Amino acid sequence: MQSLRRATLLTVAGLSLTHTAQAFYFFGYESFPNSADRLVVNNAASKAFGPEDDLQLLPNIGDVQGSAFRDEQLDLAAGFETRFRYETVGGLGDGFAFLVASDIGTDFQGGGGQDLGYSQGGADGIAIEFDFFDNGPGFWASGVGDPPGAHISIQEAFSADPVNSLAAELSSDLFGTREVRIRYDGYRETPGRLEIFVDEISQLAIDNFNLQDYLLNGNQNGLAGFTGANGGAFGQILIKEWSMTDFIRPIRGVVTVEGFEGNYDGMAFQCDFFRNNEFFNGVGTGLFLGNNFGFSTNWIGSADAYIKVGPSLSQRFFIDVDQVNGFDFGPIHLSTTGDIDNDDAVTVFDYIELSNSFDLSQGDPGYNKMADLDGDTSITIFDYILLSQFFDQVGERPQ
Ligand SMILES: [Ca+2]
Ligand SMILES: [Ca+2]
Ligand SMILES: [Ca+2]
Ligand SMILES: [Ca+2]
């Protein structure tokens, strides 16, 4: 089921060459004026705070809670990346949490104080704590307390109890103005990595983490937002910016074919990705138009791509997919060969296919465009000659 879901995440994104490389943002807030779209604030939280229109998650008042959610179900299962910049002003309260969860509403608010405004029973999701206050080892009923100091932690099941901590790390670098990046990559060579960066320094990561295990009923979708709480100790927390992307990056290809550029239009292409000589992903077949094909994918990193278009044999190309800049691929060159029956080898069966279409021209009944190896829109002796040159050759794609 898992592999099926992943396979379906690959979709043909488009064939336009003019499309510029970019991440697919769910949303981005550079500030939080009252007009900030689809942002719901609750309790003591407010938009349009101060001259920079910050999101005030918590005012500098004791015993208050605040929460803010993007009013949109996000497809999080394959991965997401969120960035936010926050500032602590004045003293320090209990802290705050970034949440993704599938069964809460945008009015969600959990317990106060040490619960950081999110903890409550019965909810599925994860919370990433930025916990400023050590509640002590004996605080929890379980007897397993907070780590001994300010910490980042990844909590499951909406419980701030440390027994529900998937990972925790002490950090004294959580105060003042900080930039956080949280990246969940559900689709790479090691599937399921959740990593938290503060000021671009990795603070905490867990591998073999499948977000869907923590979203209700294996849901792919969830809400994202923040909660925070002040107890007897308190301080102000401002969110200055917040953006979120789905981690899917477009990859576009430009394939220039030697000999008869342009004549592969409407033919199938196949692009398979390998790492360490093992297939891990593919884009299946799609329509080749205007000498290029496009697709989007949700993995990043490098891979060997075996690309085959029309009667060419598959060839290996190295692809490096950059998570920030997306990817621009090509132009590459595929050699015209003679694989008319599309089995990635030039054999006697390709001769038979060519013979069946011999002497026919474009528009004739029975004309097979795949057999027109030299691209002159007729099946002639010259196509035979080309096929003969490549006879017995096979594509580079591992079988
Ligand atoms: Ca705490
Ligand atoms: Ca904690
Ligand atoms: Ca063949
Ligand atoms: Ca021809």
Domain harbouring 192, CATH code: 2.60.120.200
- 82 and 188 fall within a common domain: yes
Which secondary-structure segment (H or E) carries 126?
Answer: strand 125-131
Distance CA 186, CA 169 (A): 22
- Determine, yes or no, domain membership for 92: yes
- 313 and 233 fall within a common domain: no
Task: Indicate which CATH number applies to the domain containing 265.
Answer: 2.60.40.4130
Task: Supply angle C-alpha 133, 136, 141, rounded to 5.
Answer: 115
More confident residue, 62 or 266: 62
- Determine, yes or no, domain membership for 309: yes
Cα 366 from chain centroid?
A: 44
DSSP code for 289: B
Span from the CA of 169 to the centroid of ligand 4 (angstroms):
66
pLDDT digits 0-9 by tens, 33-46: 999 999 999 999 99
Span from the CA of 170 to the centroid of ligand 2 (angstroms):
10
- 220 and 267 fall within a common domain: no
Nearest ligand, measured from the Cα of 119: 2
More confident residue, 2 or 189: 189
Residue 100 above 60 pLDDT? yes
- 184 and 253 fall within a common domain: no
Span from the CA of 142 to the centroid of ligand 4 (angstroms):
78
- Determine, yes or no, domain membership for 359: yes
Please give the structure tokens belonging to residue 211.
């977000």
Span from the CA of 146 to the centroid of ligand 1 (angstroms):
6
Residue 358 above 80 pLDDT? yes
Please give the structure tokens belonging to residue 305.
């791509």
Span from the CA of 201 to the centroid of ligand 3 (angstroms):
51
Torsion sign over Cα 167, 245, 83, 124:
negative
Nearest ligand, measured from the Cα of 144: 2
- 223 and 323 fall within a common domain: no
Which residue, among 88, 389, 65, has the nearest Cα to 237 in the 3D structure?
88
Span from the CA of 344 to the centroid of ligand 3 (angstroms):
6
Query: Which residues hold their Cβ within 5 A of ligand 3, which is an ion?
Result: 339, 341, 343, 345, 350
Residue 165 above 50 pLDDT? yes
Q: How many CB atoms lie within 10 A of CB 277?
A: 7
- Determine, yes or no, domain membership for 20: no
Q: How many domains does the chain have?
A: 2
Distance CA 31, CA 48 (A): 8
- Determine, yes or no, domain membership for 343: yes
Distance CA 399, CA 396 (A): 9
Span from the CA of 355 to the centroid of ligand 3 (angstroms):
13
Contacts 24+ apart (CB under 8 A), 71-74: 71/38, 71/39, 71/40, 71/106, 72/26, 72/27, 72/38, 72/223, 73/221, 73/222, 73/223, 74/26, 74/100, 74/221, 74/222, 74/223, 74/224, 74/244, 74/246
- 215 and 156 fall within a common domain: yes
- The listed range with the strongest mean pLDDT (197-206, 261-270, 281-290) is 197-206
- Determine, yes or no, domain membership for 225: yes
Span from the CA of 115 to the centroid of ligand 2 (angstroms):
8
Domain membership of residue 328 as a residue range? 249-389
pLDDT computed for residue 140 by the predictor: 55
- 155 and 224 fall within a common domain: yes
Span from the CA of 216 to the centroid of ligand 2 (angstroms):
23
Please give the structure tokens belonging to residue 288.
């080749």
- 169 and 270 fall within a common domain: no
Which secondary-structure segment (H or E) carries 3?
Answer: helix 2-8
- 267 and 236 fall within a common domain: no
Contacts 24+ apart (CB under 8 A), 107-111: 107/40, 107/42, 108/42, 108/67, 108/69, 108/223, 108/225, 108/227, 109/42, 109/43, 109/65, 109/67, 109/227, 110/158, 110/227, 111/160, 111/229
Q: Are 97 and 261 in contact (CB under 8 A)?
A: no
